[in-house]
Amino acid sequence: MRLNSLFTLFRLGPLRLARLFYHLPNFLKLFWRLLGDRRVPPWPKLLLGLLLVYLFAPMDLVPDFLVGLGQIDDLVVIFLGLQAFVRLCPPEVVREHVQMIAAGR
């Protein structure tokens, strides 16, 4: 894991964070489309499945009773997992889906 990726979430200012939430529906469309695309190998899809299992599993990297830190570790794991999912998908397939979403299709 790159240390820069870990701190990307924390470096976002309020304006960038607002833009991230504004584009969240597009990100969800992209993840859903990549998950259903047959050109995407099974490994990235397995990573996304493992990420969902981690999200709903009762274990945590940092216990939730540490106020704030318990929830931040989940956000970091989700952020890094989704970033790895997109990076493991073929770039031309990702580019095609991003262009289709931007065009409103």
* Residues of the domain holding 27: 3-102
**pTM assigned to the model:** 0.73
Q: Check residue 70 and give its pLDDT.
A: 65
Q: Is the pLDDT of residue 101 over 70?
A: yes
What integer is the mean pLDDT of 37-65? 83
- Reported as a single tens digit per residue, the pLDDT across 73-84 is 777 888 889 999
Q: Which of 46, 49, 44 is nearest to 88 (CA)?
A: 44
* pLDDT of 61 over the 70 cut: no
Averaged pLDDT for residues 11-38: 84
Q: Number of folded domains in the chain?
A: 1
Residue 47's closest CA among 92, 25, 78, 93?
A: 78
Hey, what are 44's tokens? 């990235």
